[in-house]
């Protein structure tokens, strides 16, 4: 039975698996619009992400307002109701994508020799730290948009920047929190991920 060539240690294999798990959490948390949850005047639950929303009012042809009970993204980037949320979308989106790229690289190293050396493993660990910081910064900027009209409508009319009012943080936000924590752990594990030292060259 053929054995897959690998330069990874047991720690490295665990690092690769944990990297994939953290990337999945970050990507799912970023995409799913359940960061912030509130209630509209008719007791309809409303959820927000940075660029998507669930349950939103829509004007009918007869002039009445109906609540569309589905999730969707804003039509254009400029339609995102807050500049803070636009920044969050970029920073968290790039961070989630980068964490996924690192995870795929780590998984490839489990099957192919020389993909990751000690030096590159540490470099990938540093990228994971920077990625985690990027997601944290995006998450910290997100509450600055809580004072927008759309958010105030579902948060009792009293929400403001960094003040939730009648709303609460929802589970997608916590998914990203778990993903970020795992990224920091991955950065530590990357120090012992590979058994191959960088090649030395003679002139």
Can you tell me the mean pLDDT for 140-154? 95
State the pLDDT at residue 198. Answer: 57
Architecture of 10-192 per CATH? Up-down Bundle (1.20)
Residue 109 pLDDT exceeds 70:
yes
Residue 133 pLDDT exceeds 70:
yes
Write the pLDDT tens digit of every residue in 150-159. 999 999 999 9
**Per-residue confidence band for 197, with pLDDT thresholds at 50, 70 and 90:** low
**Per-residue confidence band for 6, with pLDDT thresholds at 50, 70 and 90:** low
What contacts 24+ positions apart, CB below 8 Å, involve 187-192?
187/125, 187/126, 187/128, 187/129, 187/132, 188/125, 189/11, 189/12, 189/14, 189/15, 189/18, 189/125, 190/15, 190/121, 190/122, 190/124, 190/125, 190/128, 191/121, 191/122, 191/125, 192/9, 192/11, 192/12
Tell me the percentage of the chain whose pLDDT exceeds 70.
91
- Give the single-character DSSP code of 142: G
State the pLDDT at residue 136. Answer: 98
Domain boundaries, the chain: 10-192
Contacts of 168 (CB under 8 A, 6+ apart): 36, 37, 38
């Amino acid at each position: 039975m053929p054995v897959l060539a690998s330069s990874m240690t047991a720690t490295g294999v665990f690092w690769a698996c944990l990297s994939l798990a953290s990337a999945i959490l970050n990507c799912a948390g970023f995409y799913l619009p359940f960061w912030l949850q509130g209630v509209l005047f008719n007791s309809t639950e409303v959820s927000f992400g940075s660029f998507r929303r669930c349950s939103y009012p829509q004007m009918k042809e007869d002039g009445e307002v109906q609540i569309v009970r589905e999730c969707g993204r804003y039509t254009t980037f400029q339609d995102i109701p807050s500049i803070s949320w636009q920044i969050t979308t970029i920073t968290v989106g790039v961070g989630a994508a980068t964490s996924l790229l690192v995870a795929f690289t780590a998984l490839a190293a489990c099957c192919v020799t020389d993909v990751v050396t000690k030096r590159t493993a540490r470099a990938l660990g540093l990228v994971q730290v920077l990625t985690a910081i990027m997601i944290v910064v995006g998450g910290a900027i997100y509450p600055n948009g809580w004072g927008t009209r759309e958010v105030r409508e579902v948060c009792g009319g009293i929400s403001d920047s960094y003040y939730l009012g009648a709303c609460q943080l929802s589970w997608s936000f916590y998914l990203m929190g778990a993903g970020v924590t795992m990224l920091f752990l991955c950065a530590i594990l990357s120090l012992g991920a590979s058994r191959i030292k960088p090649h030395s060259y003679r002139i």
